[in-house]
Structure 1
Amino acid sequence: MKRNELAFEFDSAWKNISSREKNEVFEMAEDYKEFLNNSKTEREATREIIRRAEENGFKPISELIENNEKLIPGMKLYSNNRNKGVALFVIGKESILNGMNFIGAHIDSPRLDIKANPLYEDSELALLKTHYYGGLKKYQWVTIPLSLHGIVIKRDGSKVEVAIGEDEKEPVFFITDLLPHLAKDQYEKKLKEAIQGEGLNIVVGSIPFDNENIDDRIKYNILNILNEKYGIKEEDFITAELEAVPVGKARDLGLDKGLIVAYAQDDKVCSYACLNAILEVENPDRTCMAIFVDKEEVGSIGNTGMQSKFFEYSVIEILSLLGEDCSPLAVARTLSNTLALSADVVSSYDPNFPDVFDKRNTAHAGRGVALVKETGSEGKNRGNDANSEYFELVRRLFDDNNVKWQIGELGKVDQEDNGTIAYMIAAYGIEVIDCGVPVLSMHAPYEAVSKVDVYMAYKGYKAFYLNK
């Protein structure tokens, strides 16, 4: 037997791809960029997912409950979790007690949250205080243009949506950094200490209000502008949810336009691929479910994170609408018979930083969707470790459907420190493996992915949904 008949090697997903599929890759990339542009925050992502779902025939579960309707195979439904997460279902022909084909992804991303009492004036500048969200490198967030997104709840209960800085005619915001001429002491600090969290204060104004009798005239001028445009007062910051994120639209990267650079691709790239896959599912044998959750970047906590009961309660609602037993035993059987993919990104090998990667076991941009058997840190602690039998099932499924895939991990064993929602899914007795798109510069203000990897993730997720 020849040596190459025994050997195995991952190579570029662009190789041997048909002209038709190559066109589909680039067409999907244009739609994906639009999705990113409309989904910079978890609220915006939820709204965009629901909009696209409704355009493809999905109806809210609440509507069926109100009309006392029962489900039938082929029906498409969604459940909105406080405008920060959503679950989608396509009802299958088989009993749901036999389990579902389920994919979970998250739609939150590292960012700067505006504090509850943020606005102040200092040295002829008005600034907003922030609290960074998720695992980010603080030094990357200074001296880049920022926009403000979110909502403000006024005292009368009305909601004001805010989005300032994305339009080229609108102002942007900015965090200053020390000039190199005065940075002698800063240079001596460790990288993570060079910029302090309490130093991530955003410049929002510099012109004083035209009234000599008012204190803090620059701050007052900003409040006056906000009141004129949005009808909000300083006290409304207390109940607001405002996020500072990088300005700009998703763009093609490289002369060959094979990559996409954009903010928040972790984990909206997998969310997008999963959404596209389930939108195309029609009359499946097994019920298909997709869930898009919040708070993954801070431990999947709260009532919108994967650790909440939203997933479980959504399944119970479906059981009820199907007229099935909703006892704890029936719910347990449904979940333990379910198969899942944890759709989250994985690090992509970066030739600029080779020392932290095991090149043989790290995903590469352009080699397809990555399967990650184990996650966690310090000896696989706090992570998921997929069963070999299940890994083989997914591998065979992808191979049978011409899905280009590769293996991945975050980095070298002693460097690795990561986690996904997979271990929370596994806690229900569900078979699950991480499966996602490799990302360059993960958690940076701008991240990069390969267009062909996005396409292969979509193709793999769709094959998984249709697997019997």
Structure 2
Amino acid sequence: MQNNDFVNGLLDFVKRSPTPFHAVQNMVAMLEAAGFQRLTEKEQWQLKDQPAGGKYVVTRNDSSIIAFRLNQPLTAGMFMVGAHTDSPCLKVKPNPEVMNQNYLQLGVEVYGGALLNPWFDRDLSLAGRVSYVDANDQIAHQLIDWQKAIAIVPSLAIHLDREANENRTINKQEHLAPVLMRLPEQEVDNSKEAGPRLKMLLLDMINAQMEAAGNHKVAAVQVLDYELSFYDVQAPAVVGLQDDFIASARLDNLLSCYTGLMALMGDDTGQNALLVCNDHEEIGSVSAAGAQGNFLKSVLKRLTGSEESMSRMIASSMMISVDNAHAVHPNYPDKHEPNHGPLINAGPVIKMNANQRYASNSETSALFKHRCDQVNVPVQSFVVRSDLGCGSTIGPVTASGLGVRTVDIGVPTFAMHSIRELAGYKDAFYLYKVLRHYYT
């Protein structure tokens, strides 16, 4: 695979994955097309005998995914890559409809540590998962995506706030509700409950999607609940005078999910290989589908069959936790630790922290550097300034939960947690090369 083809595939994947649900759906489709067999947690697994035990994929909550291939006895260990499917965003509240000054708005909660200013004046759409009752009185679920721009969070004009460029603050409750439409006068009646409006739109969309797809599912009759997120409809793009960068929403961390996925599907031989992409990393990983849940441990226990076998496998295993790193910013170089400012398009970054906010240590760092050297991939190091707080990843959670050797790495990125992030055109492919080599 060439760099151009890889980047085009990455940008297409990110564009088609506005929520973790869509990302997992797309990953499952790609894995099944590559010969991976679908498993479900509630059924007994009939796996092929070792070695050459086949290729499998299992999901949880439709938003977390584990895919693995078995080529060696399990005592040889499992070579794992971990990432996360979620990104900071604006999530719709359960009873969101607000009619203010004759405008229809939807109330939102801020999910994760979003950089809020870039959300203003962007063309926003809405996507997610909807749970409903069908005509047979059964609960069903459907992914929806408006795809087109249906909302915007307009800025307050500078004429009404002359100090906006110096000290404007954002109130998450009062200032972030997207505007969807101007209501005709005859429809405005604040004495009436506005609640059913969104659910009726969702009901119509679900039935229209089934009809357009020739789907013979029983018609939806009542929306029960939903998990919906706003997202920017601007397509991912290659930018820069010399096409140095890729710009997109959700590069943190769909870039890592896609890169790990392509590496896993790249070769059917080599090591026992596993990719886990968890939801809810941006809010601490504390959920059944998050890295602090038992999803990965449960899968590994089912593969090994006993505590002793599990312990032996873990002792020979390794995890590469892949999550974007902060590139040194040319306008804010003082925000970076001297001698530890990763550059874009200079290779993946090993993330270190003495207080174990990252799981890397000298052993796992050396192993990753050696893998990079073997495929001529440059590698960098990142340490946060000693007077700044350090973020974290699924790496320490997984390392402590399993006892597995772990290294935290990622591609250098500008504007992390913005509605539009910036990474290097070369770096994603560098990462793919080393992860593919790691799996073989």
- On whether the aligned pair clears a TM of 0.5, the verdict is yes
Deviation at 1:365, TM superposition (A): 0.3
Cα distance in 1, alignment partners of residues 198 and 396 from structure 2:
46
Cα distance in 1, alignment partners of residues 408 and 328 from structure 2:
17
Q: Which structure 2 residues correspond to residues 262-273 of structure 1 after superposition, within 5 A? A: 262-273=248-259
Q: Which residue of 1 aligns with 2:214?
A: none
SS of the equivalent of 1:33 reads helix
Deviation at 1:241, TM superposition (A): 0.6
Change (3 A) 1:370 1:185: closer
- Is residue 243 from structure 1 mapped to residue 221 from structure 2 by the alignment? no
- Is residue 280 from structure 1 mapped to residue 259 from structure 2 by the alignment? no
Q: Which residue of 2 aligns with 1:9?
A: none
Q: Which structure 2 residues correspond to residues 410-449 of structure 1 after superposition, within 5 A? A: 411-427=384-400, 428-449=402-423
For each residue in 1:137-193, what CA deviation from the matched residue of structure 2 results, as whole angstroms up to 9, or x when unmatched?
2222122111100122124423343211x3xxx44211122211111465664x6x3
Aligned length: 423
Letter in structure 2 aligned against 1:279: M
Cα distance in 1, alignment partners of residues 278 and 188 from structure 2:
49
Cα distance in 1, alignment partners of residues 192 and 203 from structure 2:
16
Deviation at 1:62, TM superposition (A): 3.9
Deviation at 1:229, TM superposition (A): 4.1
* Counterpart pick for 2:424 among 407, 428, 450: 450
Q: Which residue of 1 aligns with 2:125?
A: 147
Aligned partners of 1:207 and 1:218 also within 8 Å: no
Q: Which residue of 1 aligns with 2:247?
A: 261
Deviation at 1:307, TM superposition (A): 0.5
Q: Which residue of 1 aligns with 2:213?
A: none
Change (3 A) 1:463 1:203: same
* Counterpart pick for 1:364 among 328, 340, 343: 343
Aligned partners of 1:79 and 1:87 also within 8 Å: yes
Q: Which residue of 1 aligns with 2:145?
A: 163
Letter in structure 2 aligned against 1:419: S
Instruction: Output the TM-score relative to the length of structure 2.
Output: 0.88
Deviation at 1:65, TM superposition (A): 5.8
- Is residue 398 from structure 1 mapped to residue 398 from structure 2 by the alignment? no
Deviation at 1:132, TM superposition (A): 0.6
SS of the equivalent of 2:180 reads strand
Cα distance in 2, alignment partners of residues 213 and 399 from structure 1:
67
Cα distance in 1, alignment partners of residues 9 and 307 from structure 2:
41
Alignment RMSD (CA, Å): 2.8
Letter in structure 1 aligned against 2:296: F
Cα distance in 1, alignment partners of residues 221 and 43 from structure 2:
40
Change (3 A) 1:129 1:394: same
Q: Which structure 2 residues correspond to residues 292-331 of structure 1 after superposition, within 5 A? A: 292-319=277-304, 326-331=305-310
Aligned partners of 2:124 and 2:149 also within 8 Å: no
- Is residue 105 from structure 1 mapped to residue 83 from structure 2 by the alignment? yes
Change (3 A) 1:46 1:415: same
Aligned partners of 2:133 and 2:220 also within 8 Å: no
Cα distance in 1, alignment partners of residues 356 and 160 from structure 2:
43
Cα distance in 2, alignment partners of residues 56 and 174 from structure 1:
39
Q: Which residue of 1 aligns with 2:433?
A: 459
Change (3 A) 1:209 1:44: farther
Deviating more after overlay: 104-113 vs 206-215: 206-215
What are structure 2's unaligned runs of at least 5 residues?
208-218
- Is residue 289 from structure 1 mapped to residue 274 from structure 2 by the alignment? yes
Cα distance in 1, alignment partners of residues 7 and 16 from structure 2:
14
What are structure 1's unaligned runs of at least 5 residues?
1-20, 320-325, 375-379
Cα distance in 1, alignment partners of residues 161 and 372 from structure 2:
52
Q: Which residue of 2 aligns with 1:202?
A: 178
Aligned partners of 2:99 and 2:190 also within 8 Å: no
Aligned partners of 2:351 and 2:358 also within 8 Å: no
Change (3 A) 1:382 1:117: farther
Instruction: Output the TM-score relative to the length of structure 1.
Output: 0.83
